[in-house]
Amino acid sequence: MNGLEVMDKIGDHQMIDFTFEIHDPNTRTQQKQVLDYKQTNFELIREELGSIDYEVLTTNKNAEECYMILKEKIATATEHYIPTKRMKPTNNPPWFFKKLNASSISEN
């Protein structure tokens, strides 16, 4: 919000003048980086998570601490074995994908 100005009273009302800038979320100009699950090495994720001795890690820990340990281990495996890719900007809603587009074109 820019240029806020309180104007003279008109009767018992005080007028306010301002400029409000709104970003249109439908205008996507930047590429978005997303996880590329098609290129994921699930075998290495299973090996890494399966090789951890969780009993040693969670001894004398409460449920919250155990959850945080597990969450960190999964996040580390994800970072190592799930690559990312850049997606081109699109003005389509997130649920609108190529197959849906192809079927809508073929119906016409």
DSSP labels for 20-55?
-----TT---S-EEEE-GGG--HHHHHHHHHTS-HH
Q: The pTM is what? A: 0.54
Greatest CA separation found in the chain?
76
Single-letter amino acid code for the residue at 41: N
Confidence at residue 107, expressed as pLDDT on a 0 to 100 scale = 56
Cα 84 from Cα 12, distance rounded (Å)? 59
Q: What is the pLDDT of residues 39-69, one digit of tens each?
A: 999 999 999 999 999 999 899 999 999 999 9
What mean pLDDT comes out for the span 5-32?
Answer: 76
Q: Is 29 exposed, middle or buried (0-12, 13-18, 19+ CB in 10 A)?
A: exposed
Q: What is the pLDDT of residues 70-84, one digit of tens each?
A: 999 999 999 999 999
Per the DSSP assignment, residues forming a β-bridge with 19 are 2
What mean pLDDT comes out for the span 91-98?
Answer: 68
